[in-house]
Amino acid sequence: MGWLRRRAIDATQVESDINAWSTAVEQFEKTGPAPGLLVTAENVAEIKKNIEDWRGKLEQKRAYNKLEEVKQQIERLRAGP
């Protein structure tokens, strides 16, 4: 989990990227190749894998942040009033 501390993840930006690429994949799967669409038959599988990886990293970051919150709460309780 050390990489999570060293590397800041902007959750809002990651979610935006996931949504944009997911929409592009959906469009490709519905209509096939289209001019200007960055998803192609050659890269659709890789893009889907990237989306899943991004979702996993985002969930890890959220879980890590929650653990940090709990840790801080415990430290405050131990410190007393």
Mean pLDDT of the chain: 89
Residue 9 has pLDDT above 80, yes or no: no
User: What are the start-end ranges of the H helices in the chain?
Assistant: 2-6, 11-31, 44-79
**Residue 50 structural domain:** 2-79
State the total domains in the chain: 1
Q: What pLDDT does residue 10 have?
A: 81
21 Cβ contact list (under 8 Å, min separation 6)? 39, 47, 50, 51
- Give the model confidence (pLDDT) of 32-65 as tens digits: 999 999 999 999 999 999 999 999 999 998 999 8
Q: Give CA separation, 74 vs 24, 27, 66, 71, in Å.
A: 44, 47, 12, 5
